[in-house]
Copies of this chain bind each other. A is one copy, B any other.
Amino acid sequence: MSVRYLSAKIAQQVDEELMSAAGAFSLDQLMELAGLACAQTLATVYDRERYPRVLVCCGPGNQGGDGLVAARHLGMFGYKPTIWMPKPGSKDIYKNLHKQCTNMHIPTLGTSGDALSDALPSHDVILDAIFGFSFKPPVRAPFDAALPLLSQSKLPIVSVDIPSGWDVERGNAEGVGLEPDVLVSLTAPKEGSRAFQGLHFLGGRFIPKTLEEKYELNLPPYPGFAQIVELPSNAEQKL
């Protein structure tokens, strides 16, 4: 049995159940493990000698929080991350996660229109933590202008959960989304990523077996004590 690809609704339900009174997880905990998995995925594919300068692009929601956690871990791993977060979420958790990054001297780009385009040439790889599974089109400013800039940069892109601009269920049907080289799905892949042809990793090793069974997730076994596992590529699955 292969891994289940989740609809936006089911992904939302799994998330809510984890953080319900019954699931007992805090957002801090889950975001820490998710962000760590994102950083480890990037570090697995793009080594810090050749790709030290990571542009971490963060959206306004929990996805952006994952990005901030990943930026901090990338800093700990010896990368030189820079944060682009033009619409920071107002929740305290985002402020704290951002403070943790500034305490590590991880710079954050300004919010002017040119800040992103100016920064791209001096980076080696992009971590796309802009939109997650609760994204609904259309892409709004300033991200509508940013997605083409990121694509045109020709830098390698690692996307978190679902490539930004993709519909969570229908993928990049509209053609406005990023085309990342690497995708790290969190807890379970989303339906929209079925057509993704690049390197596909799974992170978020915190789903209790009972929840996995309830939602028939059929998660693949993670190796040893790793926090990420590579999924078979869709190209391979079709053979």
Interchain CB contact under 8 A, A225 and B40: yes
Q: Which of A1-9, A24-32, A155-163, A177-185 is found at the contact surface with chain B?
A: A24-32
Instruction: Count chain B CB atoms within 10 A of each CB in A96, A103, A209, A211 and give the residue with the most.
Output: A103
Q: Which residues of B contact A103 (CB under 8 A)?
A: 22-24, 208, 210-211
Most buried by B among A23, A24, A28, A209: A24
The complex places the Cα of A97 from the Cα of B23 at a distance, in Å, of 10
- Chain A, range 187-222, C-beta contacts under 8 Å to B: 205-206, 208-211, 222
Query: Would you call A225 and B23 a contact (CB within 8 A)?
Result: no
A233 CB-CB contact with B under 8 Å: no
Assembled-state Cα–Cα distance A222/B43 (Å): 14
Q: Which of B29, B104, B209 has a CB less than 8 Å from the CB of A32? A: B29
Is A136 positioned at the interface, with any CB of B under 8 Å from its CB?
A: no
Which residues of B lie under 8 Å from residue A225 when comparing CB positions?
39-40, 43-44, 73, 77
The reply to whether the CB of A33 lies closer than 8 angstroms to some CB of chain B is: yes
Least distance between A226 CB and chain B CB atoms (Å): 9
A100 & B224 in contact (Cβ 8 Å cutoff): no
A99 at the interface (CB under 8 A from B): yes
B105 pairs with A209, CB closer than 8 A = yes
* A39–B72 alpha-carbon span in the complex (Å): 22
With CB as the reference atom, state the residue of chain B lying closest to A102: B24
